[in-house]
Amino acid sequence: NAGVTQTPKFQVLKTGQSMTLQCAQDMNHEYMSWYRQDPGMGLRLIHYSVGAGITDQGEVPNGYNVSRSTTEDFPLRLLSAAPSQTSVYFCASRTDRGKSYEQYFGPGTRLTVT
């Protein structure tokens, strides 16, 4: 049981490049989400999904796309990277079945856009 995994751990992009951050979970959680964390700040929700085929925007969705074709995977796409997207990105998953509501975070991807 690997929990929530993210790849890559580190990435450097040039302005205007695109890339996909990968996130996978093996806990059969229905809810998955992406956050960004800027220095000295809390996490901000980018996009989330409540199940395969269902996604919605969070607090800071601009510049990012997501899709959820399977329960396990929830990739985050940066369409045209900008320096303002330099941040640490965390993926998380949760189930509301069983009423624990515990949310688990991946190890993070540190992204630098130059």
Partner 1 sequence: ELKVEQNPLFLSMQEGKNYTIYCNYSTTSDRLYWYRQDPGKSLESLFVLLSNGAVKQEGRLMASLDTKARLSTLHITAAVHDLSATYFCAVVENNDMRFGAGTRLTVKP
Name the residues that contact partner 1, by CB under 8 A. 31, 33, 35, 40-45, 48, 50, 56, 58-59, 90, 99-108
Minimum gap (Å) between residue 44 Cβ and partner 1: 7
Q: 82 or 88: whose CB is closer to partner 1? A: 88
Minimum gap (Å) between residue 38 Cβ and partner 1: 11
Minimum gap (Å) between residue 42 Cβ and partner 1: 3
Measuring CA to CA, which residue among 72, 76, 79, 71 is closest to residue 88? 76
